[in-house]
Amino acid sequence: MGIAEGLLEKELNKDKKYFQLSNTNDDEILSSTTSWIWTDSNLICHVLVDGESYKVYFKTNKLVDSDNELEMYEPVAIDKIIKIKKQE
């Protein structure tokens, strides 16, 4: 999560204490202490900043853990940020 938070801090020009990340499945709040493993090359999360919600798509690099034969992906850049419209 630390890498994603760092990328968002740069992109949003805000310290991570001013935004909140959540996963896209159940909107579980994510932080640097969350043990959420990204095993999909399509890394997407939600971010709440200044009362507005956005969907964030990351560009990724594949990481291979040869000991466990586990494929994981790390975010390396933000691909796009899309504002989520509020349902009325």
Q: Is pLDDT above 90 for 10?
A: yes
Domain limits, the chain = 2-83
* HEC profile of 67-86: CCCEEEEEEEEEEEEEECCC
Say what the pTM is.
0.77
Are 3 and 34 within 8 A, CB to CB?
A: no
pLDDT tens, residue by residue, 39-70:
678 888 889 899 899 999 999 998 877 777 77
d(CA 61, CA 72) in angstroms, rounded, equals 9
- Return the closest-CA partner of residue 10 out of 84, 76, 61: 76
Confidence grade of residue 35 (pLDDT, cut at 50, 70, 90): low
